[in-house]
């Protein structure tokens, strides 16, 4: 399906990943003033656990891990943090500190993080790298089996 820019959006996002597709959209749409929020950049490979621990240490709280299934955006996690903070500790300066701590694992600019920013990156780049790597190993194994079989004849 072609979008208004003539791109096959679903195919573009599948092959290049949502992050690259979002960056392309932000580049084009940014000229018209519309952008989508930047991802926090966590990969879902364990780095999110370190980021949550960093937030807990920085603010001196322990977040309820039972709520983790509801943490999809930076705002979701921030809301859980605010629930654990004393009322007098909740003020405007918390958000910049929160985004700085949250992005310390990823290198993403904390100023680019909004409440709607997804915690996990949605890039499919690494999925393609893994698929190519697996195909190379399988081809190597098949090649070795063919050579071993040929040698035994």
Give the tokens for residue 70: 């509801």
Concatenated DSSP letters for 128-144? HHHHHHHHHHHHHHHHH
**Length of the chain in terms of residues written:** 153
pLDDT above 50 for 153:
yes
**Which residues partner with 8 through β-bridges?**
2
Residue 3: the pLDDT is 44
Residue 128: the pLDDT is 60
Cα separation, 106 vs 83, whole angstroms:
25
Q: Give the model's confidence band at 22: pLDDT under 50 very low, under 70 low, under 90 confident, else very high.
A: low
**pLDDT tens digits, one per residue of 70-96:** 999 999 999 999 999 988 887 778 999
Cα separation, 57 vs 102, whole angstroms:
11
Average pLDDT, the chain: 77
How much is the average pLDDT of 147-151?
Answer: 90
The larger pLDDT score, comparing residue 120 to residue 114, is at: 114
Q: What percent of the chain has pLDDT over 70?
A: 69
Residue 21: the pLDDT is 53
What does pTM read for this prediction?
A: 0.58
Alpha helices in the chain (DSSP H): 9-16, 18-30, 47-59, 74-84, 94-102, 125-152
Give the tokens for residue 121: 């990156």
Cα separation, 150 vs 144, whole angstroms:
10
Residue 31: the pLDDT is 45
First to last CA, the chain: 53
**pLDDT tens digits, one per residue of 122-135:** 655 555 666 777 78
CA distances to 30, 40, 85, 152 from 43, rounded to whole Å, are: 25, 9, 27, 47
Q: Are 1 and 105 in contact (CB under 8 A)?
A: no
């Amino acid at each position: 399906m072609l979008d208004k820019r003539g791109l096959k959006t679903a195919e573009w996002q599948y092959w290049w990943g949502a992050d690259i597709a979002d960056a392309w959209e932000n580049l084009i749409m940014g000229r018209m003033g519309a952008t989508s929020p930047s991802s926090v950049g966590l990969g879902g490979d364990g780095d999110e656990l370190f980021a949550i621990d960093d937030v807990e240490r920085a603010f001196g709280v322990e977040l309820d891990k039972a709520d983790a299934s509801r943490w999809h955006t930076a705002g979701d996690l921030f809301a859980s943090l605010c629930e654990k903070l004393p009322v007098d500790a909740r003020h405007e300066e918390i958000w910049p500190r929160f985004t700085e701590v949250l992005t310390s694992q990823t290198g993403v600019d904390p100023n680019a993080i909004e409440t709607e920013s997804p915690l996990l990156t949605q890039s499919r780049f690494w999925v393609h790298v893994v698929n190519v790597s697996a195909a190379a190993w399988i081809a190597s194994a098949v090649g070795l089996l063919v050579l071993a079989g040929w040698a035994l004849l």
